[in-house]
Amino acid sequence: MLQRMRNDFPLALMTFFGVITMLGILPFAFYRFATGQELIGLLDLAIVASIFAGLAYAWVSGRTEGPALVMAVIYTSGCVLIAHVGGLAGLLWVYPTILANFLLVRRGPAVFLSVAAIGGISASDPVLADVASKSMFVATALVTSLFAYVFASRSDQQRRQLEAIAAHDPLTGAYNRRGMESELDIAMAASQRQQAPLGLLVFDLDHFKRVNDNHGHEAGDAVLVQVADLVNACTRKGDRFVRLGGEEFGLLIPAAGDPSLRLVAEKLRAAVEREVHWAGERVTISIGATWYVAGEEAADFMARADDAMYAAKRAGRNRVVVLDGLCAVGDAGDRAGAGTGQRPDPDSSPATPP
């Protein structure tokens, strides 16, 4: 549970607000029943039950946006109702309600709900009987709303920036392995839901160790950046480019079946060979390609593409090997057995041009 909350910030925030609210309201609900205020007590219990139901749905379904909006509506409606039924209690709850609205939901709905809460409570004569009281309440509530808006907007912007930094490789700008995990889960779910193909390329720079050994690691980094820029220029907006580690990259391509996946892979291989050079030497890549099989684990999907890439290495480098689960088919009709035997270390192979 704790690990899931660490990895899912919206769920953690929802849970925090929900638990705090339930613990804050329950004692007052019991107090209402003890003092004969059954109607307000029942209203408190209804709010607690609704919040608990929303939290339970979020935990079971993994969805947070809808339940968070429901919780914000419950907070706001309950606050206004208690103000009309119980007087001052509703007014005192409006300030934490405004804060919760801006932290739980998007800015637009939060503004609407907060304005509704302020308007609904200011219209309650039992709480605010004169114009001066109403004006003071509206002014303080609007200032609180402005502070909450600025704080929530800034926090959300910083959180998104930190998430982007954590999910991307600083050298190439591509997703890193952490970013790939979430993108792969999303793409696989979409592929199953839409019954659309999903392709994956895994490629490795051939004899990359020679660049580092002969020209230094700065030269190696420059080559990696050239390759990354070329891949970004050749791919669509919906494709996901990943640096898996070192000189190994991945490219997740939605809606790419056979033969389009083969065509994309071959065009990418040819573009790198044609465009990327360093110190007079051409740079080439070996590409493994495969399709997602509905229902399989992400690790199996990735491993099959990785197997195809190593098959391309064994077959001579600077080529594409496509593995569809039954056999690996290289360019020019070559066949190579992927996923069998000992994987070679690409940098330990003889340093001869492919």
344 has a pLDDT exceeding 50: no
Going by C-alpha positions, the residue among 225, 252, 230, 257 that lies closest to residue 241 is 252
- Crossing angle of helices 107-122 and 65-86, in 10° steps, is 10
Going by C-alpha positions, the residue among 91, 99, 90, 80 that lies closest to residue 20 is 99
For 46-62, the pLDDT digits (tens) are 888 888 988 898 888 87
Asked whether 195 and 257 are in contact (CB, 8 A), the reply is no
Burial 27-55 (b: 16+ CB within 10 A, else e): ebbeebeeeebeebbebbbebbebbeebb
Which range among 77-81, 135-139, 143-147 shows the weakest confidence by mean pLDDT? 77-81
207 has a pLDDT exceeding 80: yes
Which range among 106-110, 330-334, 345-349 shows the weakest confidence by mean pLDDT? 330-334
d(CA 314, CA 316): 5
Active site residue 247: yes
Q: Name the CATH architecture for the domain at 177-348.
A: 2-Layer Sandwich (3.30)
Asked whether 321 and 308 are in contact (CB, 8 A), the reply is yes
User: What backbone phi and psi angles, to 5 degrees, belong to 242?
Assistant: -130, 140
Averaged pLDDT of the chain: 83
| pLDDT class of 340 with cuts at 50, 70, 90 | very low
Angle (CA) 258-264-267 rounded to 5° is: 135
For 265-321, the pLDDT digits (tens) are 999 999 999 999 887 788 999 999 999 988 889 899 999 999 999 999 999 999 999
Asked whether 81 and 126 are in contact (CB, 8 A), the reply is no
In this prediction, residue 331 carries a pLDDT of 42
Asked whether 54 and 71 are in contact (CB, 8 A), the reply is yes
In this prediction, residue 114 carries a pLDDT of 92
Ranges of each domain in the chain: 2-167, 177-348
d(CA 296, CA 121): 54
Write down the catalytic residue from 163, 183, 218, 247: 247
Which range among 50-64, 78-92, 155-169 shows the weakest confidence by mean pLDDT? 78-92
For 238-269, the pLDDT digits (tens) are 899 999 989 999 999 998 877 889 999 999 99
- Output DSSP code: residue 91: H
